[in-house]
Each structure stands twice: as C-alpha cells, then as structure tokens.
C-alpha cells in the first residue's frame, strides 16, 4: 500500500514540475509567435534593447518594466469600457446584450460586478457625459443610439436619439465625441466586399451636439470598430479590418486618419491605393482607387485590429507618445496571427516609425486563450484591457 502511495506522490510531483516548467520557466516567444507585422511596411521593426518579455499571467507576456494582472473575471463577451463619474468601470457585454459595472471599491469577485442594463441589441460603445448638471449614459446598440439617466449605479429613462441601419454582418456601433461637441457614429459594412444599398453603412456619420443634422463624415471604410483622438494634433484615428480571401498577407489591416469628406476606397481598393481586381477590374475602379485616401499605418493582414489608445508622456521614457493597438486575432489565415497588443511608435513629425509587441500570449499550440478587444487608460494611467475570449478584464501598470 505504501508503495502505491509513493508512486502516486511521485506522479503528482512530476505533473506539478511539468506544469511549472511549461507555463513559467520555459522560454517565451517561440519562433512562430514573434512579431508578424505587415510585410508591406517600409520601416524596419524595432528590436529595442532591454524589452525582454516577462511572464505575468501564465500565458500573457509583457515587457520588463510593466506588470499585468486580472482586474475582473466572469464577464460575458466584454468589449468597450468607460469610467463612470465615480470611477467605476462600465463594460459592454455585447453578445449578451448587457452593460455591467465593475465596482472600484469591492474586491470580492462575486460581489463586485453588477448588471445595470440587459435585453439590448448588441450594445457596444458606452459614453458618460454630464448634461445640464445631470449624468447621462450613452449606449450605441446595433440599431440605435440611446441615452439614459445615470445615478446611483442605475440607468433609467431610456430615450432613443437616432435609429441606425442594422442588417447583417458587422453589428457593432461606435461613438466618438469631438472637441467641438459634434458626435461621430460609425456603421460598418454588411459584407466582405459589396456595394452597400444603404449608404449609411461603410461610413462614419456625424451629428450636431443636440443630435440633429445627421450626415456622412467619412466613407468607404469596411470595418473600423474603434476610434480615438490623437492628443497631440487632434487627428481622429481608427483601426480598420480589411477584406478576406485574398491570401495570408493581403490586404493589410490598417490604422487610418479619419477626416471629414474623405473616402478610403473599400471595396474597390486597399492599402496604398491598390485596386482590388478580384472585386472590380474596370477602369472605373482604377479611377476610384487613384483618388482614395491611403492607409496611415499598415498592420499584418487578418490581425483584426480593434481597440487603440495613445500613450502620452504619462508613461515615462521610451514609451511616451506611442499608439497601442489590440489585435483581436485571425480566423481564416493558414498560420494564425494577432492575439496581442502592439505599440506603434510615431516620430516627432507624427509619421509612422516602427511597431513592436507590447503584450503577447504564449502557449504550446494555437488554441487561443485570449482575444484582446478594448483598451482604456484610467486617470492614473493604468491600462485596462477587455478580453472577450476569456471573459476578463486585465490591468497593466508601469513599474516606477
């Protein structure tokens, strides 16, 4: 009997040692997970000395002078995050049709998440704003934008501000409040490549501050799910997931500068005014592409870029004035790519300089364990990351 228990103890010890080696000691960054950014970028990838990865949460890897840890678990497809006036973190649970609040002062996992809205149609973007001395919560659903009175962790008195086209494929809607008070609303394509019957699709729309005067702002974009404002020169930037089924490396996904009255070429062209001859070989397509706006930054094809946010000088040293982009990850590439967060460095003239991995995941196979979606900085410059694969929120801080 003692011999049997001894064998069992040895077996358990072997399993524990193997687990520790596999997830903690084993070297990071296997060859197939190295930076795989778009081959079409003309600038070289920076390899920054001193940026050795350090494992923090088993499968997640970040750079030496940063820490990463769980902030919340047991959410359902968390996507967009926003802080309410009290500093609680609101999260859209898009596929569940809910909006959750993560209480900032509660550390009991089972008690710190409350649902303030449910039964919604793919709620995505959230915005808190004070109007006439009262706090309001704006929610972008797939078919409308609504506003709620927000007080004491309750959202009440729903009022629909604008109805939106909602049919098929890309169902998320994004809001961006501009410094001049106008509101941008993004509505993305219903297809991989097609001419939309409703020209409000494939567009960024704009409305006045009183939610009147709806018109097109920027057009012929395929699927720009997240937008942000550049804090240096107030440019509007958006990630865009380009079309499928042209191969592993074409066309690149993109970061674009969004301007009023600009058009970006989809479905006729991609990248730097390249005509998509699989879609249209005519002279008309060539003409359209010659006058469309080229991409600002090119990303590895099928990375599925989502959240983006700027690092200002609040993060010290090498990291200041960079752009972080979350790669949600590929679904139809022969060798999967993405599932990470990259840092895009811009030079002093605000042109693209280079890209490097900021947070990656590592595991023995391509069994995906996380898909980063939203990125949000707190007032204290802690970075929050939503993960709609493991249904979690992470937080990242710079070590001082």
Question: What confidence tens digit (pLDDT) does each residue in 271-291 have?
Answer: 888 998 888 889 999 999 999
The full 3-state SS of the chain, as one line of letters, equals: CHHHHHHHHHHHHHHHHHHHHHHHHCCCCCHHHCCCCCCCCCCCCCCCCCCCEEEEECCEEEECCEEEEEEECCCCCEEEEEECCCCCEEEEEHHHCEEEEECCCCCCCCCCEEEEECCCCCCCEEEEEEECCEEEEEEECCCEEEEEEEECCEEEEEEEEEECCCCCCCCCEEEEECCCCCEEEEECCCCCCCCCCCCCCCEEEEECCCCCCCEEEEECCCCCCCEEECCCCCCEEEEECCCCCCCCCCCCEEEEEECCCCECCCCCEECCCEECCCCCCCHHHHHHHHHCCCCCEEECCCCCEEEEEEECCCCCHHHCCEEEEEECCCCCCCCCCCCEEEEEEECCCCCEEEEEEEEEECCCCCCCCCCEEEEEECCCCCEEEEECCCCEEEEEEECC
- In a 3-state reduction of DSSP, which class is residue 128? strand
Q: What is the pLDDT of residue 58?
A: 56
Q: What is the pLDDT of residue 39?
A: 34
Residues in the chain: 400
Residue 139 tokens read as: 């929610």
Which contacts qualify for 377-380: CB closer than 8 Å, 24 or more apart? 377/309, 377/314, 378/83, 378/87, 379/83, 379/87
Q: What is the pLDDT of residue 52?
A: 38
Q: What is the pLDDT of residue 109?
A: 58
The count of other CB atoms within 10 Å of the CB of residue 331 is 11
Distance, in Å, from the CA atom of 337 to the CA atom of 32, rounded to the nearest integer, reads 9
Task: Spell out, as residue ranges, where the chain has pLDDT lower than 70.
Answer: 1-59, 106-111, 167-168, 362-366
- In a 3-state reduction of DSSP, which class is residue 284? helix
Strands across the sheet with 340-346, in order? Answer: 53-57, 60-63, 352-361, 340-346, 322-327, 305-311
Distance, in Å, from the CA atom of 23 to the CA atom of 237, rounded to the nearest integer, reads 37
Give the predicted TM-score (pTM) of the model: 0.83
Q: What's the pLDDT tens digit per position in 190-206?
A: 877 888 888 888 899 99
Q: What is the pLDDT of residue 65?
A: 84
């Amino acid at each position: 009997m003692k011999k049997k228990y001894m064998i069992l103890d040895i077996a358990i010890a072997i399993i524990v040692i193997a687990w520790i080696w596999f997830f903690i000691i084993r070297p990071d960054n296997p060859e197939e997970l190295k930076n795989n950014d778009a081959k079409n970028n003309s600038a070289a990838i920076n390899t920054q000395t001193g940026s050795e990865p350090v494992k923090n949460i088993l499968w997640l890897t970040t750079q030496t002078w940063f820490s990463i840890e769980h902030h919340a678990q047991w959410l359902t497809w968390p996507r967009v995050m926003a802080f309410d006036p009290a500093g609680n973190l609101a999260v859209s649970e898009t596929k569940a049709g809910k909006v959750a609040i993560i209480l900032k002062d509660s550390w009991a996992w089972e008690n710190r998440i409350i649902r303030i809205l449910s039964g919604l149609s793919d709620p995505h973007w959230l915005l808190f704003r004070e109007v006439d001395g009262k706090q309001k919560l704006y929610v972008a659903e797939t078919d409308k934008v609504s506003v709620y009175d927000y007080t004491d962790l309750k959202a009440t008195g729903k009022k629909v501000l604008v109805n939106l086209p909602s049919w098929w494929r890309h169902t998320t809607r994004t809001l961006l409040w501009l410094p001049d008070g106008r509101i941008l609303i993004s509505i993305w394509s219903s297809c991989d490549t097609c001419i939309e019957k409703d020209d409000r699709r494939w567009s960024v729309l704009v409305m006045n501050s009183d939610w009147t005067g709806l018109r097109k702002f920027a057009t012929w974009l395929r699927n720009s799910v997240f937008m942000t404002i550049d804090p240096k020169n107030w440019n509007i930037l958006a990630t865009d997931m380009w079309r499928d089924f042209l191969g592993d490396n074409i066309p690149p996904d993109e970061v674009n500068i969004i301007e009023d009255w600009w058009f970006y070429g989809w479905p006729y062209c991609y990248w730097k005014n390249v005509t998509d001859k699989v879609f249209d070989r005519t002279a008309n397509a060539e003409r359209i592409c010659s006058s469309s706006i080229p991409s600002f930054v090119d990303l590895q094809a099928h990375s599925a870029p989502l959240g983006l946010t700027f690092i200002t000088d609040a993060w010290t040293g090498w990291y200041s004035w960079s752009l972080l982009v979350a790669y949600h990850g590929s679904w139809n590439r022969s060798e999967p790519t993405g599932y990470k967060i990259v840092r895009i460095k811009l030079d002093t003239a605000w042109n693209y300089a280079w890209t490097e991995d900021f947070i990656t995941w590592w595991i023995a196979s391509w069994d995906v364990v996380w898909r980063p979606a939203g990125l949000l900085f707190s007032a204290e410059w802690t970075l929050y990351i939503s993960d709609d694969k493991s249904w979690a929120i992470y937080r990242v801080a710079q070590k001082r």
